[in-house]
C-alpha cells in the first residue's frame, strides 16, 4: 500500500498569528458544516409551502444532505493525499459556500434536493480536514487544548443550529438559513488560501472505486432505512428489509475489499491500531447519546413540561455550557493525566445523568433539569477531548487525515442510528404504555368510581373520558421517554469497558515537552 502524505508540521509556520488565522478559518468550515446538519430542521414547514412539497417529500431536504455527507466522508484521506490538503480544503469550502447559496435560491423541490446533495458532498471533508490540520499545526503537548477548541465547533454547532435557524426564519425567511454561510465561507477561503501551506501530493495514488462503491451503497441504504423505518413500520415493510439487506451486504463487501486489495482507499492499518478502534466505538456512542438526547429534550420540555420555546432553549443551555467547560478542563489536563481516567470519569457522569433522566416526570423542577443536563454536558466534554487524543496517540501521522475521516463518519452514523432508534422507542413505547394504562381506566376500576374524585374521572361521561384519555396519554409518553433514557444508559455502559482496551497514552511531567515519533 502506498503511504499517505504527511501534513505540514507546526515548525513550518513562523508566527502564532498564522497559526491562529488557520485555526479560525478551519474552524469556520467545521462550524458551517455542523450548523447545516441541523439548522434547516426548523425551517422545513416554511420550505414545504414555498417549494410546494408534501410532508413526506420535504424530509428529503435533510436526508439528501446526510446521505451525501456520510458517503463522501470516508475518502477524505485519499483525496487529501492525492490532491493536497490545502487544495481540497479550498475546493470544499468554496463548493460548500456556493451550494449553500444555490439552496437558498432553489425554486422547487428537485433543485433543493440536488443542491443539498452537492452541499453535503462538499461539506463532508470540512470536519476531518480541520481536525487533521489542527493536529499537525500544534506540537503534541498542546493538542489537548487544540482538540478542545475543535470539539466546541463540532458539538456546539448542532446544538446552536435549531436556535439560529428559527431566528433567521422568523426575522427574515427560510432562505437566510443558507445565505448565512456566505460571509463565513469567504473569510475561511481567504485565510486558508493566504496562510495554509500545501502538503505533498502523490499523483501515483489510484482510487479504489470498488471499495468506495460498496461503502457508499452501504451508507446510503443504512441512512434510508433509518430515515424511513418509523414511517414504514420498520421490518414489516419490504422496502426496509431490502435496504437493511443491501446495507449489510455492502458493508461486508467493503471490508472484504479493504483487507484483500493492495490499495484500499481507507487503509486497513487503521483497524489494527487498538486505541483508534476503541476511540471509534466511543465516538459512535458519543454521537448516539449527544444527538439523540438533543432531539428528545425539546419535545419533552415543551409537550410534557409545558415550557415555552424560549424557556426550553434556556433550560438546554446548561448542557452546552457544561460541555464547553469540560472541554477546556480536559484540554488542559489531558497531556498530564492518563486520558483513560478522564474518559472513564466522563462516562460515569453520562451514565448518572441518564439514570436521573429516566426518573423524570412532568413535575420535575427546573433546577433538577439544569443540574442533570449540566452534568451530562460535563460528561460529554470529558469524554470527547481525551477520546480524540487517545485515537491519534499511537496512530502514525501518515494516516491522520484518514483517521479523522473515519472518526467523523462514526459520529455521524451513531447520530443517525441514535435518533432513529430513540424515535421508534418513543413511538412504540407510547402506544404500548397507552394500551396498558387504558385497560385500567374503565368503570370496573373502583379507584375511578369512589367519591367526588371518582365522579370527575368517570369514563362513562364523554367529557371526562376525553380528559382521562389525555392523562393516560401523558403518562404513556412519560414512560416511553423513560425507556428512551434507559436505552441510552444501556448503550453507554460498554464505553466504560472499551477504556480497558486502550493503551496508556504518553503524559507530561511539569515543564516537560512530549516527544512522539511520527
447 has a pLDDT exceeding 70:
no
Upper half-sphere CA count for residue 204 (Cβ side, 13 Å): 6
Name the 3-class secondary structure at 465: helix
Q: Can you tell me the distance from the alpha carbon of 174 to that of 105, in angstroms, rounded to the nearest whole number?
A: 10
Q: Can you tell me the distance from the alpha carbon of 98 to that of 166, in angstroms, rounded to the nearest whole number?
A: 22
Phi, psi of 439, rounded to the nearest 5 degrees: -65, -25
Upper half-sphere CA count for residue 334 (Cβ side, 13 Å): 33
Instruction: Say what the pLDDT of residue 241 is.
Output: 92
Q: Can you tell me the distance from the alpha carbon of 104 to that of 178, in angstroms, rounded to the nearest whole number?
A: 5
Asked if residue 361 lies in contact with residue 477, where contact means CB atoms within 8 angstroms, the answer is no
Torsion of CA 445, 449, 452, 456, to 10 degrees: 70
- pLDDT tens digit string along 30-53? 888 877 776 776 677 778 788 887
Instruction: Say what the pLDDT of residue 452 is.
Output: 43
Instruction: Say what the pLDDT of residue 93 is.
Output: 93
- pLDDT tens digit string along 181-198? 899 899 999 999 988 887
Among 354, 392, 394, 361, which residue's Cα sits nearest to residue 375? 354
361 has a pLDDT exceeding 50:
yes
For the residues 167-185, what does the mean pLDDT come to?
85
Count of CB atoms situated within 10 Å of the CB of 256: 12
Residues of the chain with pLDDT > 90, as a percent, come to 12
Q: What is the CA radius of gyration of the chain?
A: 24
For the residues 200-222, what does the mean pLDDT come to?
84
Average pLDDT, the chain: 80
Instruction: Say what the pLDDT of residue 513 is.
Output: 43
* pLDDT class of 142 with cuts at 50, 70, 90: confident
Q: Can you tell me the distance from the alpha carbon of 374 to that of 132, in angstroms, rounded to the nearest whole number?
A: 29
All 3 cell numbers of residue 57?
417529500
DSSP assignment letter at 9: P
For the residues 285-313, what does the mean pLDDT come to?
79
Q: Measure CA 421 to chain center.
A: 15
Contact residues for 384 (Cβ-Cβ < 8 A; gap 6+): 151, 155, 286, 323, 327, 330
Of 68-72, 109-113, 356-360, 456-460, minimum mean pLDDT range: 456-460
Q: What is the DSSP string of 245-287?
A: HHHHHHHHHHHHHHHHSSS-SS-GGGGG-HHHHHHHHHHHHHH
Q: Can you tell me the distance from the alpha carbon of 366 to that of 374, in angstroms, rounded to the nearest whole number?
A: 12
DSSP assignment letter at 201: -
Q: Can you tell me the distance from the alpha carbon of 82 to that of 88, in angstroms, rounded to the nearest whole number?
A: 9
HEC letters along 108-135: CHHHHHHHHHHHHHHHCCHHHHHHHHHH
For the residues 153-174, what does the mean pLDDT come to?
73
Amino acid at each position: 500500500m502506498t503511504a499517505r502524505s504527511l501534513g505540514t508540521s507546526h515548525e513550518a509556520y513562523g508566527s502564532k498569528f498564522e497559526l491562529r488565522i488557520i485555526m479560525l478559518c478551519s474552524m469556520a468550515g467545521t462550524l458551517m458544516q455542523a450548523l447545516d446538519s441541523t439548522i434547516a430542521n426548523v425551517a422545513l414547514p416554511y420550505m414545504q409551502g414555498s417549494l410546494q412539497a408534501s410532508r413526506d417529500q420535504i424530509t428529503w431536504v435533510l436526508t439528501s444532505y446526510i446521505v451525501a455527507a456520510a458517503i463522501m466522508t470516508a475518502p477524505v484521506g485519499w483525496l487529501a493525499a492525492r490532491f493536497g490538503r490545502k487544495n481540497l480544503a479550498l475546493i470544499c469550502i468554496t463548493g460548500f459556500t456556493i451550494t449553500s447559496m444555490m439552496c437558498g435560491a432553489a425554486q422547487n423541490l428537485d433543485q433543493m434536493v440536488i443542491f443539498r446533495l452537492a452541499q453535503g458532498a462538499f461539506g463532508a471533508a470540512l470536519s476531518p480536514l480541520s481536525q487533521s490540520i489542527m493536529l499537525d499545526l500544534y506540537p503534541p503537548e498542546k493538542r489537548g487544548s487544540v482538540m478542545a477548541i475543535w470539539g466546541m465547533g463540532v458539538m456546539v454547532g448542532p446544538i446552536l443550529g435549531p436556535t439560529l435557524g428559527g431566528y433567521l426564519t422568523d426575522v427574515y425567511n427560510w432562505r437566510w438559513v443558507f445565505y448565512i454561510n456566505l460571509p463565513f465561507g469567504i473569510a475561511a477561503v481567504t485565510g486558508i488560501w493566504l496562510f495554509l501551506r500545501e502538503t505533498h501530493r502523490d499523483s501515483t495514488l489510484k482510487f479504489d472505486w470498488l471499495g468506495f462503491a460498496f461503502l457508499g451503497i452501504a451508507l446510503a441504504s443504512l441512512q434510508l432505512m433509518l430515515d424511513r423505518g418509523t414511517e414504514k413500520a420498520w421490518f414489516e415493510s419490504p422496502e426496509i428489509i431490502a435496504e437493511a439487506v443491501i446495507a449489510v451486504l455492502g458493508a461486508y463487501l467493503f471490508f472484504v475489499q479493504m483487507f484483500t486489495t493492495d490499495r484500499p482507499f481507507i487503509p486497513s492499518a487503521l483497524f489494527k491500531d487498538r486505541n483508534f478502534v476503541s476511540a471509534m466505538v466511543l465516538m459512535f456512542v458519543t454521537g448516539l447519546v449527544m444527538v439523540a438526547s438533543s432531539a428528545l429534550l425539546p419535545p419533552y420540555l415543551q409537550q410534557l413540561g409545558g415550557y415555552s420555546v424560549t424557556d426550553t432553549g434556556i433550560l438546554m443551555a446548561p448542557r452546552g455550557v457544561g460541555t464547553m467547560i469540560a472541554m477546556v478542563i480536559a484540554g488542559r489536563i489531558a497531556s498530564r493525566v492518563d486520558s483513560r481516567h478522564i474518559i472513564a470519569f466522563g462516562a460515569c457522569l453520562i451514565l448518572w445523568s441518564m439514570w436521573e433522566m429516566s426518573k423524570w416526570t412532568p413535575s420535575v423542577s427546573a433546577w433538577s433539569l439544569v443540574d442533570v443536563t449540566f452534568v451530562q454536558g460535563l460528561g460529554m466534554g470529558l469524554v470527547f477531548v481525551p477520546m480524540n487524543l487517545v485515537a491519534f496517540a499511537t496512530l502514525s501521522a501518515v494516516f491522520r487525515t484518514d483517521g479523522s475521516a473515519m472518526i467523523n463518519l462514526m459520529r455521524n452514523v451513531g447520530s443517525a442510528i441514535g435518533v432513529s432508534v430513540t424515535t421508534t422507542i418513543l413511538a412504540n413505547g407510547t402506544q404500548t404504555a397507552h394500551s396498558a394504562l387504558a385497560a385500567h381506566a374503565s368503570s370496573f376500576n373502583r379507584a375511578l368510581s369512589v367519591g367526588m374524585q371518582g365522579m370527575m374521572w368517570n369514563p362513562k361521561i364523554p367529557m371526562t373520558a376525553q380528559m382521562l384519555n389525555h392523562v393516560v396519554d401523558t403518562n404513556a409518553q412519560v414512560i416511553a421517554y423513560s425507556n428512551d433514557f434507559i436505552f441510552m444508559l444501556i448503550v453507554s455502559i460498554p464505553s466504560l469497558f472499551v477504556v480497558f482496551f486502550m493503551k496508556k497514552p504518553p503524559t507530561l511531567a511539569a515543564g516537560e515537552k512530549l516527544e512522539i515519533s511520527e
